Amino acid sequence: MILSQNILEQSTTYQDIIARGARENSRSLVLDLGKQNLGVPTSEQVKQVEAIEDTEVLKGLIGQIFKVKTWNDLLAALPATVAPQN
């Protein structure tokens, strides 16, 4: 049983599922905590958050939510690699 669990945990499919779940959870936290502290985001701001694929970037936003005053301030902190292109 332990061997099969270890093999499962090492599979790339399993790792992808875990990473996807962490990303979705982090996005939800950004949006939920942001709504509580910054108000309701615009649909464009929601799209920006949903477009972020890097869990570490999302965690960084979570850490900034209570340090900024607006969604624009929060999203301005995004690295250029994930900031939306106009």
According to the model, what pLDDT value does residue 82 have?
66
d(CA 12, CA 67): 36
In the chain (86 residues long), the average pLDDT of successive 10-residue segments reads: 68 86 94 97 96 94 95 88 53
According to the model, what pLDDT value does residue 31 have?
98
According to the model, what pLDDT value does residue 46 have?
97
| Long-range contacts of the stretch 17-21 (C-beta < 8 A, 24+) | 19/55
Return phi, psi of residue 2, to 5°: -65, -40
According to the model, what pLDDT value does residue 11 have?
83
d(CA 9, CA 68): 38
pTM equals: 0.78
According to the model, what pLDDT value does residue 41 have?
97
Going from N- to C-terminal start, the domains of the chain cover: 2-76
